[in-house]
């Protein structure tokens, strides 16, 4: 059951003074106390931390040796009474009813291997979520920033808001914008995190080390190497980087090990490549909504060739 804040004799005296119901002796005591505060000001008293301290200070001051009343400070005294009574009441209320932050509700949207989703955030930002990925965001963006957490890959079309930056947080990077479109690829266990800008300007900085913000423009891609904490940027075709939204796979100069990881997520399979040298071979292909068998055959033809076998959800390449 909630407690009722205590009305102390000191606060009751101030309330009577404000209401004009004090006895002549009470009025004299309060007037003399305010006279004593002329050189000290009210703020030192109001800086006290608790209502008990305020009350004690008021009582000590009222009972202190009297000073001659100066009526020229009448309006200042009234204002001070109101302020002091309010602050004392506020201190007491905070003691009895400590402020509690309202809990923030979060939503997590995830995709399985072979699945893609589109999400519209509370601020109208549109997110395309790639296979085996997850995005976490507040149900309402009430703060100074709009922050989301990403695991995997997503393409963002951020609704412009000059007063609230939009921040994408990954394990290795923070990506901050006001309103733009860009792709972020940050899968757990992979050696690199990639940010590719389609439109607008994007700022990127590390989450674990104090690094300067890297500014990216349309057509630029930043690659962060997780093991060495180093950045490098290059010019790319941004359409290739988020073609996956339309079911298109684009591989340019990627090694077979990296390609296999993407195919696993895309087709929900497990791929085994025992030959370490074969894992390092690089390939270049572009496939539009093709079967896994067709993609593997095209990869083999585009390079020095390899054999493969598909058995259910198990794939072997040699």
Residue 93 has pLDDT above 90, yes or no: no
CATH 2.60.120.1440 positions along the chain are 107-241
Tell me the CATH number of domain 247-317, given options 3.60.21.10, 2.30.31.70, 3.55.50.30, 3.30.160.100: 3.55.50.30
Contact criterion met (CB below 8 Å) for 153 and 207: no
Query: Would you give the DSSP letter of residue 7?
Result: -
CA 196 to chain centre: 21
Using left for φ > 0, alpha for ψ between -120 and 50, and beta otherwise, residue 300 falls in alpha
Q: Is 203 exposed, middle or buried (0-12, 13-18, 19+ CB in 10 A)?
A: middle
Q: pLDDT tens across 198-249, in order?
A: 999 999 998 876 678 899 999 999 999 988 888 999 999 999 999 999 999 9
Higher per-residue confidence, 170 vs 70: 170
Mean pLDDT of the chain: 82
Residue 134 has pLDDT above 90, yes or no: yes
User: Of 63-67, 289-293, 298-302, which range is least confident?
Assistant: 63-67
In the prediction, which pLDDT does 27 show?
73
Residue 69 has pLDDT above 50, yes or no: no
CB atoms within 10 A of CB 144: 9
Q: What's the fold here for domain 107-241?
A: Jelly Rolls (2.60.120)
Rounded CA separation 25/35 (Å): 15
CATH 3.55.50.30 positions along the chain are 247-317
In the prediction, which pLDDT does 54 show?
52
SS (HEC) of 232-300:
EEEECCHHHHCHHHHCEEEEEEEEHHHHHHHHHHHHCCEEECCCHHHHHCEEEEEEECCCHHHHHHHHH
Higher per-residue confidence, 249 vs 44: 249
**Is the four-CA dihedral 71, 76, 79, 83 of positive or negative sign?**
negative
Token couple for 76: 């200042």
Q: pLDDT tens across 258-288, in order?
A: 999 999 999 999 999 999 999 999 999 999 9
């Amino acid at each position: 059951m909630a407690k009722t804040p205590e009305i102390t004799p000191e606060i009751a005296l101030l309330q009577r003074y404000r209401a004009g119901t004090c006895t002549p002796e009470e009025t004299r005591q309060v007037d003399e106390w305010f006279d004593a505060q002329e050189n000290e000001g009210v703020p030192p008293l109001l800086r006290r931390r608790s209502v008990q301290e305020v009350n004690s200070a008021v009582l000590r001051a009222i009972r202190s040796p009297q000073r001659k009343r100066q009526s020229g400070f009448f309006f200042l005294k009234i204002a001070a009474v109101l302020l002091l009574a309010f602050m004392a009441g506020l201190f007491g209320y905070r003691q009895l009813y400590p402020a509690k932050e309202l809990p923030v509700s979060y939503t997590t949207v995830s995709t399985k291997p072979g699945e893609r989703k589109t999400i519209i955030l509370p601020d109208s930002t549109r997110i395309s979520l790639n296979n085996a990925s997850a995005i976490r965001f507040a149900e309402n963006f009430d703060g100074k920033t709009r922050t989301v957490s990403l695991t995997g890959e997503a393409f963002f079309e951020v609704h412009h808001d000059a007063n609230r930056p939009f921040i994408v947080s990954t394990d290795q990077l923070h990506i901050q914008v006001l309103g733009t479109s860009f792709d972020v690829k940050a899968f757990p266990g992979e050696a690199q995190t990639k940010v590719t800008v389609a439109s607008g300007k994007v700022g990127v900085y590390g989450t674990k080390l104090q690094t300067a913000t890297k500014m990216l423009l349309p057509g630029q891609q930043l690659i962060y190497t997780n093991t060495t904490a180093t950045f490098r940027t290059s010019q790319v075709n941004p359409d290739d980087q988020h073609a996956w939204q339309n079911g298109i796979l684009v591989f340019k100069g990627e090694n077979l090990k990296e390609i296999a990881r993407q195919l696993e997520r895309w087709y929900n399979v497990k791929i085994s490549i025992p030959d370490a040298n074969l894992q390092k071979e690089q390939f270049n292909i572009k496939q539009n909504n093709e079967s896994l068998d067709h993609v593997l055959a095209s990869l083999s033809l585009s390079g020095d060739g390899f054999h493969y076998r598909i058995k259910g959800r198990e794939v072997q390449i040699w």
